[in-house]
Chains A and B, each alone.
Chain A
Amino acid sequence: SAVISQKPSRDICQRGTSLTIQCQVDSQVTMMFWYRQQPGQSLTLIATANQGSEATYESGFVIDKFPISRPNLTFSTLTVSNMSPEDSSIYLCSAGTGGDYGYTFGSGTRLTVV
């Protein structure tokens, strides 16, 4: 399975600011995803990061709030824009190649907005 490096691991941010989270995979992967996990809850898919094209967002998530880049097959970023305390969550990157079912998760970014 791929190994994913995600950073930062945690951050405390002021409301109204933006934070960009990076996800680096040690091998080329077909699919990369971004998730949010609120305290005590399961993971919620934000979007699928598509290489070379715009990300595919799930219902309730929009590009203006969560812009995503994926410039190549090993790297993606998620930006949480104009943050409010409600954005305090763990954000997780996941990657895999569908054929080998290898969905691996990064270690997560714990975001606190004050």
Chain B
Amino acid sequence: KNQVEQSPQSLIILEGKNCTLQCNYTVSPFSNLRWYKQDTGRGPVSLTIMTFSENTKSNGRYTATLDADTKQSSLHITASQLSDSASYICVVITGYSSASKIIFGSGTRLSIRP
């Protein structure tokens, strides 16, 4: 069964600190993995997109890693800011083109405290 599991479910950290969010998946065939940021009441916004051959990808203070062998990904946030408070969703795309399916993780709710 295609599944995407995220941990922790929620996380509270102080402003300026770093944190790492985890994503484990059992999806086949794997096409690509994305991390999205979703502010409360808004649609998800893409942070990174990683294909099978990519190990690390950065977008500003966000760095995503992918280990295709262990089927794990992480999202590292450096020097957190209050605006980082949001849900972070790991999404895995399985299959290709019109046959592709999108598998969502349940998200990690991140709260940044001043």
What residues make up the interface of A, taking CB atoms closer than 8 Å to B? 1, 4, 6, 10, 30-31, 33, 41-43, 45, 90, 92, 94, 98-99, 101, 103-108, 110
Contacts and interface: CB of A to CB of B under 8 A. Distances in A.
Given A41-B106, A98-B97, A105 B41 contact: no
B46 A42 contact: no
Interface in B94-114: 96-98, 100, 102, 104-107
Interface residues of B, number: 23
A107 B106 CA distance: 19
B46 A98 contact: no
A103 B34 contact: yes
What are the 9 A-B residue pairs with the smallest beta carbon separation, nearest first? Answer: A105-B43, A98-B97, A108-B43, A42-B106, A107-B43, A42-B104, A105-B44, A43-B104, A106-B43
A99 B43 contact: no
Nearest to A41: B106
